[in-house]
Amino acid sequence: MSFGDPNNPYGQQPQGGQPGYGQPQGGQPGYGQPQGGQPGYGYPQQAPQGVPQQYGYPQAPPVQQPYGGGYPQAPMGYGAQPPLAHWGWRVLSRLIDTAVIVGPYYLLIIIGVVISDGSGEGLAAVLSLIGFVYLVGMFFFQVYKEGATGQTIGKKAVGTRTLKEATGAPLGFGMAFVRQLAHFIDGIACYLGYLWPIWDAKKQTFSDKICNTVVVKENR
């Protein structure tokens, strides 16, 4: 039997239009070929015209970074860092605080002196003691308010606030008290520390630089 023998099935050509193995039958595509215009198994599907084709897993949407590069925003509702308070606002708030703390104390002393006529010395002493208790109590109340909210009575009246320079948060009672003690350094050398905010880039007194604090002006 030879390969050219008509009795040899392996050497015969397809009969009756029947395709051999791997060839399409009856116009049907073979294995791995597209059927009816549809891509077969293993063929990449074509994306619609005008739409870029993506391979692999879909890409995740870009992550939006929070405001300020991930750092927390300033507290108390500030959408952006408030402007620094200029020297005039600081002086005005200081005058108001001084009047609130010291004013009633001296007023009670004056009243005691006026009404004392030799027999009213006891009343004058009582009024002086009441004034002193008020002075000390109001001083610590002011320190507490500034540490908790950043505002004394004077700062609230003019719309300024004392905050930590690094975080924008209130100081807390301890640091607010230390800052009041540091005002002693502002007063030496002809009150140079109190005048320093006039030309300082951060508008800080010496006590602000020691305690790392700033005074800002709220928008009203």
Q: Note whether residue 213 is domain-resident.
A: yes
pTM summary value: 0.62
User: Would you state the torsion angle of the CA atoms of residues 94, 100, 105, 110, taken in this order, to the nearest 10 degrees?
Assistant: 90
d(C-alpha 200, C-alpha 168), whole Å: 19
pLDDT in tens, the chain (220 residues): 444 455 555 445 545 545 444 454 544 544 445 455 555 445 455 545 554 555 454 555 554 444 333 334 444 444 567 899 999 999 999 999 999 999 999 999 888 888 776 666 778 888 889 999 999 999 999 999 999 999 999 999 999 999 999 999 999 999 999 999 999 999 998 899 999 999 999 999 999 999 999 999 987 6
Q: Is residue 57 situated within a structural domain?
A: no
26 within a domain of the structure (yes/no): no
| Boundaries of domain holding 160 | 87-217
Contacts of 71-76 with CB under 8 Å at 24 or more apart are: 72/167, 74/163, 74/168, 75/168, 75/169, 75/170, 76/150
Neighbours of 167 (CB within 10 A): 12
- Rounded CA-CA distance 76/216 in Å is 13
- 71 domain residue, yes or no: no
- State the residue for tokens 């009969």: 15
Which residues, 6 or more positions from 47, have their beta carbon under 8 angstroms from its beta carbon?
53
Tell whether 156 is covered by a domain.
yes
Residue 42 lies in a domain: no
Q: Is 34 a domain residue?
A: no
C-alpha to C-alpha distance for 77 and 69, rounded to whole angstroms: 18
Number of domains forming the structure of the chain: 1
Residue 154 included in any domain: yes
